[in-house]
Chains A and B, each alone.
Chain A
């Protein structure tokens, strides 16, 4: 295919670099510097997709971010991405794209039948029709609508691309590199401010690339190029193209996506595809320019109808003419500029101007060039289905209500200009209450909410001279405030053609007997008639009209439709536009990829992974790991073909008969020092701490102020004013914050310091009847006899030359010890324990065996201390001091907490001694009772008791105290199980606790 619509001597593309690409399976050619849109237009392709609701043929409407319909499914380097705007996607060698939202093809789309059924698809159609019957929604309507309304198709493959996040600070963030952005950036940078200048497009310069102006004896583009190259050299300036600032958040934080590799056939090695910038700016200059708005007329969505500024951009930047017989339809001078551009490139146009007799330099130039102009004329309707073939035009009366005789003129495109709408999204996101500017019929930013200033066209200033002057001044003023510098740059001489006022005309009336669709929102297919229906049905607030009709709710966020929608509502309601107001602008300004939001926090990187110093030993010895918070812990050490159940049973049994060793490094450890340390512990824990001797450990429970158990653990008095606290793995961070809270805010008079030492100590729990014999061999110089190191005793010992702390504490209910050494000696300790332990048949055990051992002992842990239970519920009431006060004590006297039939932890054994009980199951009295069956309690933890060789569970049961011996049912609707059980004591093994003291 040849590029029949490509001009020869104009544009910023590189004609030496021809690029081939595929669209809907066909091969085309374009040039380096093209967008997919410009390359397709160069090949005369106007039909790119089908519309959302009616599946009408759609083409290109804009040339950039405002594009409402030219969205494609993009294929790049074996990956696919949906809903990419063809007007933004730069061309690269081998690019492939297909149309979205059409089936089986863009040329023949079955959904287009909706177009002929449109009378049945009015505003609110989905709300009205699919309400009944209710059960049909999920099964019939929703899947159908989803299929019909789908945009592109999301890839289900893992995204191998890399996305990055970056945090940056600057004095001035400038959003847009048009004339105002460049001028303000230059003035501020020259005054020493740290500036970030962000440009959405690949090329800097904004409208300077397309307008016929002269700045300091240079063309607009030359001037822009000069400023940019100077800025790029400055160390205090960051200049970024392909970067869209899309969100304005609290405290002047803005977020920007930088599309680093999207324009390349594949991402370079070690490069990200996109980078998300979090920018905290002292001041923000919003120089986002303005977007041309359409005039509404019949069939104004036909491919070939586009914004006049877009047609001009295709000529000036890409050397592409969007048609060979264009019709220009305008209410202001901008349309003339496009016509002049066509004329200069040998294309004759016909201008229809809604104004009666405008007089300006630009209009005069068009007349001098011999361009045909019809004043007080409008396009009534575009003709042609998949492409504009002609237009019905007519003279319009001075009051803009009456159409004259309809004439038909041949044309192959219609370039529309309905004047300009400032891009106020960022200002509005910042909280700026916008105001209506009568002069330009559009909203502009009002009083700044955060540190933001809007300049240039985004602020409704449409002359270059005024834009540059005010932008230079603003850039200088803000940088002076921040830097206290006063270096001024000289202001260049500006030559531009003067334009005259626009016509406040935006919607062509329907001719008698015609019922053309006149679209406001092109992406969501919202037409004038839809808004009329919504208002007729009583929707008044613009926010309601928006939601009912979906006006402005498509992925383009109504960039080309909002204002015309407001005009229509205000006209029907007979209100002025500012009284109608506009809907809220919310980030993001343009769609951003999920990958960019997620950044590097993918898979293993989504959270840090903490490993104990013994991790590599576990790995070498076939440990199967489990996530415990951010820690990786061995769940069991697999031998042969063992599964989890068999392996953990073997390990637990070995602890009960011989000796086992478990990595307990993950336990939280807090070092507590200071003369008031004992007093702090006494207030934090429920039991008494003032009389704990040096060299002794004690088990403690701490509550929240509402009486709920927060955590448990042992704390050891290392020396007079030095304590070592342990917490559960899960609560380690919370307990530290909790202690800091009370020390800093509530009892600052206590002279205590707390610091986390979790990572400073490696821990090994040695448990089992043979643990003392093993310990004695590990510490031959220490007296670890029952007298030398009694239960809850503490010793410092020498482990083959390494200093160790030995605690006689037990989680398994067996005779047990915990040995701590400094982390870097952790692996040494572990290997020594294993080595010396061989003669006692030592085996390492993982978290599963650890759980089994504690469950059958009735030792409560995280599944019982679940943030809903008080000490009594966990049979810890013996640890609650009656004499002293402590955190949460007052709450324990609440009525519900002292109820006679209060829930309590109990043991549960299946009557058949065989069926395992699923955790989370409910306990009920009668398994056949009518639903909802009253729930008496729930299973908190289950195991296979190695001592009794049958299933055993812990449960939190109402009136648990008096339920021992009762027969109940465990019900698990999820697992579809009903199990008859007996309630027993939670202490299923060694109920008197003799072993730990032996």
Chain B
């Protein structure tokens, strides 16, 4: 079970969190013309990286905040966690 540092609450076990996918995906702005390809890339297409990966988690059974977590998908090592409003560096 992973041990994730919630930027609001501190180190917590994985079973308090739920996984939310790739954190680098940006939603196209509202009311903007979006091509099929752009939209598909937003909704469906993901890279499934091996290695470092910025992903979203929600501290569901804690502060309910969505956070950004940089995790190695192969080793599960967690390098950094950020609040929702912090930009991925």
Contact = CB atoms under 8 A, between A and B. Distances in A.
B22 to A, nearest CB: 12
Nearest to B11: A280
Contact of A253 (B3, B30, B34, B42): B3
A890 B34 contact: yes
B3 to A, nearest CB: 4
A395 interface: no
Nearest to B36: A894
Q: When A and B form their complex, which 10 residue pairs have the shortest distance between CB atoms, in order from nearest?
A: A251-B3, A744-B84, A885-B30, A885-B31, A250-B76, A744-B66, A890-B39, A746-B27, A253-B1, A705-B43
A706 interface: yes
B1 to A, nearest CB: 5
Interface in B20-35: 20, 27-28, 30-31, 34
A894 B44 CA distance: 13
Contacts of B44: 706
Given A251-B1, A251-B3, A683-B30, A741 B42 contact: no
Interface string A721-756: 000000000000000010011001110100000000
Given A250-B1, A890-B39, A891-B43, 9 more contacts: A253-B1, A253-B3, A706-B44, A737-B58, A737-B60, A741-B20, A744-B84, A744-B85, A890-B28
A176 interface: no
Nearest to A889: B30
Nearest to B23: A745
A748 B83 CA distance: 12
A687 to B, nearest CB: 16
Nearest to A250: B76
Contacts of B28: 890
A252 interface: yes
Contacts of A844: none
A539 to B, nearest CB: 28
A737 B3 CA distance: 21
Nearest to A748: B85
A280 B84 CA distance: 27
Given A250-B76, A251-B76, A737-B18, A744 B34 contact: no
Nearest to A756: B64
A431 B28 CA distance: 41
A249 interface: yes
B3 A280 contact: yes
A251 B39 contact: no
Interface of A: 167, 249-253, 278, 280, 431, 683, 705-706, 737, 740-741, 744-746, 748, 884-885, 890-891, 894
A705 B76 contact: no
20 contacts: A249-B1, A251-B2, A251-B78, A253-B3, A278-B1, A431-B75, A705-B43, A706-B43, A737-B18, A737-B58, A740-B65, A741-B20, A744-B66, A744-B84, A745-B66, A745-B84, A748-B84, A885-B30, A885-B31, A891-B43
A740 B66 contact: yes
A894 B75 CA distance: 38
How many B residues are at the interface, by size bracket? 20 to 34
Contact of A280 (B13, B34, B78): B13
A705 B42 contact: yes
Interface string B40-77: 00111000000000001010100011100000000110
A231 B60 CA distance: 39
B85 A252 contact: no
A249 B78 CA distance: 14
Contacts of A884: 31
Contacts of A745: 56, 66, 84
A257 B31 CA distance: 57
B16 to A, nearest CB: 12
Contacts of A431: 75
Among the interface residues A431, A745, A884, A891, which one has the most CB atoms of the partner chain B within 10 A? A745
Contacts of A891: 39, 43
Interface SS majority for chain B = loop
B64 A740 contact: yes
Contacts of A746: 27
A745 B30 CA distance: 14
B10 to A, nearest CB: 12
Nearest to B20: A741
A741 B66 contact: yes
A746 B84 CA distance: 9
A727 B1 CA distance: 32
Nearest to A755: B64
B82 to A, nearest CB: 11
B48 to A, nearest CB: 18
Nearest to B56: A745
Contacts of A252: 3
Contacts of B13: 167, 253, 280
Contacts of B64: 740
A168 to B, nearest CB: 12
Among the interface residues B43, B44, B75, B78, which one has the most CB atoms of the partner chain A within 10 A? B43
A841 B28 CA distance: 55
A748 B64 CA distance: 15
A216 B39 CA distance: 75
Contacts of A683: 30
A198 B39 CA distance: 55
Contacts of A741: 20, 58, 66
B2 A250 contact: yes
A705 B39 CA distance: 10
Contacts of A167: 13
Among the interface residues B36, B44, B60, B66, which one has the most CB atoms of the partner chain A within 10 A? B66
Nearest to A895: B36
A751 to B, nearest CB: 14
A252 B84 CA distance: 27
Nearest to B85: A748
A705 B64 CA distance: 21
A964 B35 CA distance: 36
Contacts of B39: 890-891
B43 to A, nearest CB: 5
Contacts of A251: 1-3, 76, 78
A737 B62 CA distance: 13
A340 B41 CA distance: 75
A884 B30 CA distance: 9
A740 B39 CA distance: 22
Nearest to A253: B1
Contacts of A250: 1-3, 76
Contacts of B20: 741
Contacts of B43: 705-706, 891
A88 B20 CA distance: 45
A167 B15 CA distance: 12
A705 B30 CA distance: 12
Nearest to B42: A705
Nearest to A249: B1
Contacts of B1: 249-251, 253, 278
A744 B42 contact: no
A251 B28 CA distance: 36
A251 B11 CA distance: 11
Contacts of B75: 431
A894 B31 CA distance: 17
B61 to A, nearest CB: 11
Contacts of A253: 1, 3, 13
A742 to B, nearest CB: 9
B27 A740 contact: no
A884 B84 CA distance: 27
A915 B57 CA distance: 50
A884 B31 CA distance: 7
A831 to B, nearest CB: 35
B75 to A, nearest CB: 7
A705 B40 CA distance: 10
Nearest to A886: B30
Given A251-B2, A251-B3, A744 B65 contact: yes
Contacts of B85: 744, 748
